[in-house]
């Protein structure tokens, strides 16, 4: 696909969102969330630090995609309320209902999850169009289309990371370019932004907040060390007209416009 400019896309996975959800599940979905940490710890960290993180993002006046686990709305809507009240209009996407890998559930179970997400989120006036597959395992794309999704994030990893958007079964895969983790060198990140500017490519960073530390102080320090400098750098490039900030959804819309313009649709 041909774009007028590079795009800087950021998506944030909310795997649990509240420790109340862990209490409700009583360890049942710990293994679905991760092999190192259970739902309680992740829920507690996300609940505690997400407001600060949204503040930081809002200071840059950029919209990002927050992929929310649907089941969170059974117990707590504070994260959704925070995003809905935000002065910057963020893309609120879905991250499964129970955070189960879609490759490991049947068509019927996947449909059940999408139906539940729709019921819970529509109650808050949200009709998600961006889907982040739990554990990045892609399956049941036909159902996603049927439930009104426009884009998803496919699998990442060193050999699969990409600076591209692909069309697949009438949906757009906003390919992940790089997972933002603590070990990354800010200089390397700036060079990747430069590369995407030269190629006029989409650049999709994604992250888990809990990967930045387990308490507010560490997360704040690490966010300031890694994420803030790259946002500041990209913001400077945006002001020079070299890139635009996009959510997964707005990037998918640009991809569609590009395909229409090129005569593919």
Q: Which is nearer to Zn ion, 15 or 246 (CB)?
A: 15
Neighbours of 222 (CB within 10 A): 18
Distance of CA 259 to CAs 122, 204, 254, 263, Å?
A: 30, 19, 9, 6
Min CB(265)–Zn ion separation in Å: 31
186-199 vs 228-239: helix crossing angle, rounded to 10: 30
Q: Which is nearer to Zn ion, 3 or 133 (CB)?
A: 133
Q: Taking the mean position of all CA atoms in its chain, how far away is CA 206?
A: 6
Q: Which residues bind Zn ion (CB under 5 A)?
A: 13, 15, 134
Q: 76 near 21, Cβ under 8 Å?
A: yes
Q: Taking the mean position of all CA atoms in its chain, how far away is CA 167?
A: 18
Calpha distance 44→22 (Å, rounded): 9
Min CB(138)–Zn ion separation in Å: 13
Q: 75 near 21, Cβ under 8 Å?
A: yes
Min CB(29)–Zn ion separation in Å: 11
Min CB(199)–Zn ion separation in Å: 29
β-bridge partners, 11: 65, 206
Q: 148 near 265, Cβ under 8 Å?
A: no
Min CB(187)–Zn ion separation in Å: 28
Q: Which is nearer to Zn ion, 165 or 209 (CB)?
A: 209
Q: Which is nearer to Zn ion, 92 or 243 (CB)?
A: 92
Q: 96 near 69, Cβ under 8 Å?
A: yes
Q: Which is nearer to Zn ion, 3 or 66 (CB)?
A: 66
Min CB(39)–Zn ion separation in Å: 11
String of DSSP letters for 60-108: TT---EEEE-TTHHHH--HHHHHHHH-SS--EEEE--SS---GGGS-HH
Min CB(90)–Zn ion separation in Å: 17
* Structure token pair of residue 190: 């700036």
Q: Which is nearer to Zn ion, 33 or 171 (CB)?
A: 33
């Amino acid at each position: 696909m041909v774009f007028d400019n590079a795009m800087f896309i950021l998506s944030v996975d909310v795997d649990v969102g509240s420790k109340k959800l862990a209490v409700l599940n009583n360890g049942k979905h710990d293994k679905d969330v991760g092999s190192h940490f259970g739902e309680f710890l992740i829920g507690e960290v996300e609940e505690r630090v997400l407001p600060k993180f949204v503040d930081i993002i809002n200071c840059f006046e950029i919209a990002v995609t927050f992929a929310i686990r649907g089941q969170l709305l059974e117990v707590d809507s504070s994260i959704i309320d925070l995003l809905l009240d935000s002065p910057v209009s963020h893309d609120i996407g879905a991250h499964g209902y129970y955070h189960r890998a879609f490759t490991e559930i049947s068509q019927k179970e996947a449909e059940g999850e999408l139906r539940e997400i729709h019921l819970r989120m529509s109650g808050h006036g949200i009709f998600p169009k961006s889907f982040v597959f739990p554990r990045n395992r892609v399956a049941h794309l036909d159902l996603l289309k049927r439930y009104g999704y426009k884009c998803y994030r496919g699998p990442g990893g060193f050999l699969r990371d990409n600076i591209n958007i692909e069309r697949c079964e009438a949906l757009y895969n906003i390919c992940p370019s790089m997972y933002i983790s603590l070990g990354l060198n800010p200089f390397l990140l700036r060079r990747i932004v430069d590369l995407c500017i030269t190629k006029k490519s989409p650049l999709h960073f994604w992250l888990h907040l809990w990967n930045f530390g387990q308490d507010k102080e560490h997360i704040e320090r690490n966010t300031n060390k890694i994420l803030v400098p790259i946002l500041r750098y990209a913001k400077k490039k945006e002001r020079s007209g070299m890139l635009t900030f996009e959510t997964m959804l707005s990037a998918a819309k640009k991809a569609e416009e590009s395909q229409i313009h090129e005569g593919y649709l």
